[in-house]
Structure 1
Amino acid sequence: MSTASSDIQQPISVTVETAIAISGLSRGTIYKLINERSLQSRLKAGRRLVLFSSLKSYLEADDKAA
């Protein structure tokens, strides 16, 4: 039997705006983390997309350090 959390599909990538909404981080912080290679992103069709797994890993690692 599957659980509710396993039924939810996670996106492969999200826009910077969505990454801001999900994480609560500022736009400047998101771009700083991208430039530092702390967040993985791709430029596709003129849009900057943040890899969801990278954002999730960053936020989870940040929680463990606190």
Structure 2
Amino acid sequence: MADTAPRTTIRAGRRAQASFGSRPSSGTRHPLVATAMVLPLATLLVVVFGGWDAVVTQASSVGVMLGR
């Protein structure tokens, strides 16, 4: 009976994927969907780091450290 658990898990995963729909085979998203996904994180970064100037300064220093 122990061998039925993996099959049940696979079937449940397939049902969940079918109910949510599958992504396009190319793996691309609509630009508005991508923007909606990124905006909350961008807002959080602005609040945590104190504004765009601080974010730009941090990104610039990381770029310098990486040699770009």
TM-score using structure 1 length: 0.26
Larger RCO (CA within 8 A; separation ≥ 6) = 1
Higher relative strand content: 1
Q: What TM-score comes out, normalization by structure 2 length?
A: 0.25
